[in-house]
A and B are shown apart, each in its own frame.
Chain A
Amino acid sequence: MAVLSPQVVFTLFGLQITDTIVSTWVMMLIIIIVAIIIKRFKPDLGEMIIESINSIISTVMAEDEDVTKYLPILGTLGIFLLVANIFGIVPRMVSPTANINTTIALSIIIFFAVHVYGIKEKGLWGYLKDFANPIFILPLEIVSQFSRTLSLAVRLFGNIFSTDLIVAIVFVLIPFIAPLPLAALGILTGVLQAYIFLVLASLYIASAVEVQEVEQERRELKQTIKESSR
């Protein structure tokens, strides 16, 4: 059990501060300082980063969708995960995503963001109506909403944690050069998992928003048919 639970570094007002939280604070500080430096001295680089995140999101969204609407949540998520997944290679730090509480929190944020964007796009009644269209799909929809939230959290945690664990085990056996290729593999896995989390989150938001357009097209088609038959 000592392997699975994070170590307590110090206690603050009766709250146990674990090494995951300390790593997250250090990481937040680094990201904020780098963001300020990029904004002050190299605005072109920031524009390039935003463009690349936009292009990742727009691969799964609908063609004419305005992806900058979702950039605040998805871009933040992408940058956070990209740094967090490879943060374990920094000495004396652990990856924040190697703790299941972090990944569950992130996937719960995505769970609520999907519904908020869906309700904002279609209105409450229209969004609820899409859940039961046709009616026998309702239980499947509800199960899939929860299972995909769980799988999003567990996938990220499992990948990052297992690579960290493998590096630690090999380090105990052969401490000299042998853990290096595995650490490099861990970096590759971390970048890939950040990309996959970002793509899946935008896919879920797209699936909550997109149905409305089909509905709207159907309504417009019905309207034109009605007008032309007149």
Chain B
Amino acid sequence: MWQLDSQTLITIITILGATIGIVIGCIVPAIMEGIAVQKALDGIARQPDAANDLRTTLLISMALLESTAIYVLLVILVLLFANPILDRFF
């Protein structure tokens, strides 16, 4: 068995957690945005007159959905580049 010091261990755990977090945090908003686009396209195909209203609403709601993924990205950037635990204890 290797003898890892605790700084290496914390770094490994951080990288693993960041990878898993960004994977899940990208998959779920992507699926949900896909559902939103699908419904909006259904609406446009059914009623081409309402395309302008639908487009504005779709863009706003896409931005609101995408900000969830951006929050995940920010948390992971902080974990990787400005990790509070690594700075405090070592």
Taking Cβ atoms with an 8 Å cutoff, the residues of A that contact B are 1-4, 59-60, 151, 154-155, 157-159, 162, 192-193, 195-196, 199-200, 203
Tell me, rounded to whole Å, the shortest Cβ–Cβ distance linking B13 to chain A.
Answer: 19
Tell me, rounded to whole Å, the shortest Cβ–Cβ distance linking B53 to chain A.
Answer: 8
* Number of interface residues, chain B, beta carbon within 8 A: 15
Chain A residues positioned under 8 Å from B73 (CB to CB):
158, 162
A158 and B81 within 8 A (CB):
no
A155 and B81 within 8 A (CB):
no
Chain A residues positioned under 8 Å from B74 (CB to CB):
154, 157-158
Asked whether any CB of chain A lies closer than 8 Å to the CB of B85, the reply is no
> Of all chain B residues, which has the CB nearest A151?
B67
Chain B residues positioned under 8 Å from A195 (CB to CB):
59
A159 and B70 within 8 A (CB):
yes
> Of all chain B residues, which has the CB nearest A3?
B81
A199 to B81: give the CA distance in the assembly, Å: 33
Quick one: given A59-B56, A162-B73, A203-B60, are A1 and B81 in contact (CB under 8 Å)?
yes
B67 and A155 within 8 A (CB):
yes
Write out, one digit per residue, whether chain B residues 50-88 have a CB within 8 A of any chain A CB (1) or not (0): 001000100110011011001101100100011000000
A83 to B31: give the CA distance in the assembly, Å: 31
CB < 8 Å neighbour of A192 from B59, B64, B71, B82:
B59
Tell me, rounded to whole Å, the shortest Cβ–Cβ distance linking B32 to chain A.
Answer: 16
Quick one: given A158-B70, A158-B73, are A196 and B81 in contact (CB under 8 Å)?
no
> Of all chain B residues, which has the CB nearest A192?
B59
B59 and A196 within 8 A (CB):
yes
Tell me, rounded to whole Å, the shortest Cβ–Cβ distance linking A60 to chain B.
Answer: 7
A182 to B50: give the CA distance in the assembly, Å: 33
A200 to B77: give the CA distance in the assembly, Å: 26
> Of all chain B residues, which has the CB nearest A148?
B64
A60 and B56 within 8 A (CB):
yes
B66 and A155 within 8 A (CB):
yes
